[in-house]
Structure formats: structure tokens, C-alpha cells
Chains A and B, each alone.
Chain A
Amino acid sequence: MSEENQNPDLTDDEKRLFADLMPEDLKEIMDSGFNRRHFLKLMSIGGASVLAANLLGAEQVLARPLATEQAAATAAIENGVKLSFNINGASRSLTVDSRMTLLDTVRERLQLTGSKKGCDHGQCGACTVIIDGQRVLSCLTLAATCEGKKVTTIEGLANNNQLHPMQEAFIKHDGFQCGYCTPGQICSAVALLGEAKKGDASYVTSNIKQTGSAQQLSEDEIRERMSGNICRCGAYPNIVAAIMEVHSGKPVDQHFNFAG
């Protein structure tokens, strides 16, 4: 079966989303499926942020549960641990295998696939999430330890279709290529803002004994504080520019220009 002819099988949520974002396309989508042509059309709608807003909204509804919670729960769970926690503002209760990491739980059980598994060993930062205001690695966090905690993943940063300023800055500065490290980079950068406000130090802070006030970070400081997030595509200069813009509250020049 060719991609063109696949029945899109849209849910009510999806119909509402498409009706919202691109009413003129909805009928065609219903008739012919959400094919590559439409994707390309989306790309040409306008600025990158329109695209990102669309993709972001679309991802939320398209990422609908593949397997129901019920089905997952009946899969072999050893040493089950009952768990209640808050994820992106919603309370969730589930039983997890004691071995289950928070990363696998959000991806496989809660269908929040924004957080990425790069290494699964604490070495890359792609799985970074924010727990009770602190950035941590979800691949080295057992879900069982999250009882009563408040977890924020990349899916929880935007306010409906209003992106978090850090997300907007990453788009403006093209802070990614393949995008695999990006959810972790953005969660990490959002938490970094809070740490700088508190006056936290880093290894490159020039005088660690000077305590107290909020930090105005240099590029070197941002690089050191973001060193736990590896980008295999090497988008670092643009990532630093994006973070600098949000942290300083002042526009930062883009390192690139759009062609023509």
C-alpha cells in the first residue's frame, strides 16, 4: 500500500487540531490521507515557528496511546511498585516493574516520547527532565523513586500552542540539526535559567566565594553549565546563542541567515 493511499484514520482530537491549524487542508486530508505533500505544504506555510507550533500540537495528539494502559499493565511486571506522581500537570497512578526507569515509563507507558534515549547510561543528557524544579537524567532515575514528585518533560513546557521562550529561542537560532538531543537540551536550559537566578556557581565561575546575587552568565558559563547535554550534530554555537538570548532578556544575533 502506498503512503499516499493510507487511510489517515483521524481521531476527533486530530480533526479538531487540523481544523484549527489549517482548515483549508482538512477536507483534503480526510479524503486522501496525511501524506508527504501536506507535510511539505506545512513546511512552506511561513516562519519556522509556525511549523514548530504545528508540529508540537500535532505531536501531542498524534502521539496517542499505541497500547492502552490496561494492556501495558498486564505485560509481565516483576516486583510491581505502585506509583502516583504528577506529570506535566496531570496526576497519574500506575504500577511499574521495580526495574523501570522514569525514561522508559514516560516513553512506553505514558506515551510521552519527547524525552529521548541516547545512551541509557547518564552520558549524553538526551533524557533530561525536570523533577521538582531540578534537571535530572530520567535514564538513571527509577520510576519507583518518583512517588509524589512533579515531573516536567519537554511536552509540558509549552502552554497549549504558546511555546516556552526557550523553545522559541531554539527555533529562532536554529539550535538543532537532527533534533534528537533537543528535548533534553531545552529541559536542561530551562532549569539552568533558574539555577543562574539563584546565584548557583559552576566550575568556571571566576570567584566561587562571591555568593548571593543572580548570575549574569558568560558564554563560557553557559557552555560549562550545559556540558551534560551532548549534541552529536554539533549545534552548540546556536544552542548557546538561544540560551543567552532567554537568559539575558536581550536579542542575540543569529549565527546564520536564511537563503534568498
Chain B
Amino acid sequence: MRPFKYTRATTLPSAIKELSGNAQSRILAGGTNLLDLMKEDVERPEALIDITHLPHSAVKSLSQGAAKSGVLLDALGKNSETANHLLIRSQYPMLSQAILAGASAQIRNMATNGGNLLQRTRCPYFYDVAMPCNKRTPGSGCGALEGFNRMHAVFGWSDKCIAVHPSDMAVALAALDAKVLAQNEAGQQRRLTFDEFFRLPGDAPEKDNNLQHGDLITGIELPASNFADHSYYAKVRDRSSYAFALVSVAAGLQLNGKQISDVRVAMGGVAHKPWRALTAEKMLKGKEATEANFKAAAKAEMAAAKPHEYNKFKIELGERAIALALTNALNYGS
């Protein structure tokens, strides 16, 4: 690992100031992704600003009075406290499930909510500094495009990069219409929808998202949920635990009798960002919640997929995972 200066931040504004002052500085949260990448020489920061000692509470209810309202996840909250928080388990169970489907108990105790969104792709060419990779070294080419691309994207990729975003938590957050709160040196607070926050690779795969250097994520806001009764997070991977997703699906149903009054489907492991399955959602709204309808919607969604040499299996897997997640959401807890 290359030498770097370590600073323990005492306040949020001082952390932002320190971060803005040096383009080669990075925030250190749980460190589970950043330190790994520093050991691999992929990340080479000159300075780390440790924010883990700053006071925070994992989850705050935004409720005023009896009205149903949202929650605020602190960026510094640990993944494990967030997943086990009673408000999240009871009102956003798919988020608890998604977090608990990721990594291991030890890593979830370290990983923060902000760091989870900003974790970088697990594309093996990105990790190997001897390989070409436009995300790591812009202009060097994409090793995966014609390489071993089993884990890679089937939606929204460009010929510059076909990597996927690895987070499970972010998939559930996308389904729940979460917003990312970011703050900069000028003290400006921005509230970004997931569409505004994440991006597709296009011609600039080095940028995972639309934050600027100097932006600190302070929290993640969730609107009141109508999907607590019928939701599920399905994850398909090479072994049954402690592995990244090949394909994952967060599904939520709001029912009026047998009829679907609202529905959310988001996918992981298929694109550069958590992928909202809008085609499937549109098809299902107003229909009856039946397995046949779930399957038809899943097929329609995956029809637009463009696979690579080694990940053609993701099309049928995607169809099945969408149908499974919706079926399990329908029957959850009964």
C-alpha cells in the first residue's frame, strides 16, 4: 500500500473541507472496499479522512404525528444496524433482506450506508492493474468486452465499459425510490433521486455516479412505504452465501384484493447501476397478481437485454429471478 496521511475528522464540515482541499484525498468509512482497492494499488489516495468517529444514529423516523412517513438512514450508519433496525424490518423488509444478502456478518458490521452506495465494481479487469480498464485508467480499453464477461452487464452498457454495480442494498433502495443526500464545502445540501445519482457508463466509465469530488453523502431518504406487506429480495449467486449476485431482484407489490395497484421491481447484477425494471412494472400495474402475469412481465423486461459471450444465461436467469421475487413477495410471511 502506498503511504498516505491519515486524519480523524472531528466534525462533518471539517471532513468536507479537508476532502475538498485535496483532489487526491478520500473519505474512509468502513474501509471494506477502499482498503481492499488500496492494497491492490487500484486506489492511490494521498490522504484518508476517517469519518467513523463522528456521532450518528443509524435510522431516524421522519414521521410527524400519526401520518405514515419516511425514514432517514444516516450515511455513517452500519449496514448491520440498518438491516436490523425495527423500523426497517417492519416497514422496509426488502431493504433488510437485501442488506443481509450481501457480504458477511463481519463486513456488514463495518460497512456504512454511504460507503455501500459508493462501492466500486468487482469486474476482475478493474481489480487487476496489469489489465486494460477504462474505468480504472480512462482510454486503456475494456478488458471485459471481449474477455471473460460472465459477471457483466446485459442492460445499459457501452463499448467503453460493461461492468455492473455490485451492491445489494442499492437494488432495494432503487425499488423503494430512495434519495441520496449530499453536502459540499459551500454547505449546499442536495437531494438526488437514484436516477440523478447513479449513471450508465457511456463515454466516461471512470465516473460511477454524478457526485463531484468534495461531496459527502450525509444520508439516504426513504419515502413512506406501501410495500411492507408484500416484498422480497431474491439473490442468485454461485454459492448460497458470501458471494456477489449474478442476478438479484427486489420486488414489492401493493394489492387491492387480487389486483396490483402498485408494483416495484429493481435488478442487481445486470447493469452499471441498480436497474429499475420499468417495462415489467408497467405491464403489471392494474393486472391480477398471478404467476402467469409475473412470468409474462419478466419475459418482456428481459427481452431488451443485450448479453455478451459468457453471460447469455443472465436472460433466462433474470426472467426466473423476477418471477420468483414477485411470487415470494406475494406470499411473504403467509
Contact = CB atoms under 8 A, between A and B. Distances in A.
A191 B80 CA distance: 13
A54 interface: no
Contacts, number: 116
B53 interface: yes
A189 to B, nearest CB: 11
B242 interface: yes
Given A208-B93, A228-B105, A201 B3 contact: no
Interface string B224-243: 00001000000100000110
A140 B83 contact: no
Contact of B4 (A99, A145, A201, A228): A99
A122 interface: yes
Nearest to A100: B1
B72 interface: no
A141 B110 contact: yes
Contact of A79 (B6, B89, B109): B6
A228 B100 CA distance: 12
A192 B105 contact: yes
A223 B242 CA distance: 11
B4 A79 contact: yes
B217 interface: no
A81 interface: yes
B321 to A, nearest CB: 15
Contact of B31 (A98, A121, A140): A140
Nearest to A133: B109
A122 B100 contact: no
A91 to B, nearest CB: 18
Interface stretch (B32-40, B57-65, B156-164, B304-312): B32-40
A200 interface: yes
Interface string B15-41: 000000000000010111001100100
Contact of A145 (B28, B90, B109, B332): B28
Interface residues of B, number: 42
Contacts of B53: 145, 147
B106 A135 contact: yes
Nearest to A198: B84
Given A79-B3, A140-B32, A141-B31, A201 B241 contact: no
A214 to B, nearest CB: 13
A250 interface: no
Given A145-B50, A147-B8, A201-B83, A136 B110 contact: yes
B36 A135 contact: no
A135 B84 contact: no
B22 to A, nearest CB: 14
A112 interface: no
B107 A211 contact: no
A188 B106 CA distance: 8
B107 A98 contact: no
Given A142-B28, A207-B333, A228 B3 contact: no
A207 B105 CA distance: 19
A208 B106 contact: no
A81 B6 contact: yes
Given A137-B110, A142-B35, A203-B241, A98 B6 contact: yes
A208 B36 contact: no
Contacts of A228: 103-107, 242
B93 A137 contact: no
Nearest to B1: A99
B3 A120 contact: no
B32 A137 contact: yes
Contacts of A191: 105
B28 A225 contact: no
A33 interface: no
Contacts of A162: none
B254 interface: no
Interface in A204-228: 205, 207-209, 211, 223-228
Nearest to B96: A208
Interface centre among A99, A125, A147, A195 (most CB of B within 10 A): A99
Contact of B90 (A81, A144, A147, A209): A209
B90 A211 contact: yes
Contacts of A225: 105
Given A142-B50, A201-B83, 15 more contacts: A79-B6, A98-B48, A99-B2, A136-B109, A140-B36, A141-B31, A142-B48, A145-B31, A200-B80, A201-B84, A201-B96, A201-B100, A203-B97, A207-B333, A227-B105
Per CB-CB distance, the 3 closest pairs between chain A and chain B, nearest first, are A228-B104, A227-B241, A98-B6
28 contacts: A79-B3, A79-B5, A98-B4, A98-B6, A99-B3, A99-B4, A101-B35, A122-B32, A125-B106, A128-B106, A134-B80, A136-B109, A136-B110, A141-B110, A142-B28, A142-B50, A144-B6, A144-B8, A144-B50, A145-B50, A147-B8, A188-B105, A198-B84, A200-B80, A201-B89, A209-B90, A228-B103, A228-B242
Interface of B: 1-6, 8, 28, 30-32, 35-36, 39, 48, 50, 52-53, 80, 83-84, 86, 89-90, 93, 96-97, 100-101, 103-107, 109-110, 228, 235, 241-242, 332-333
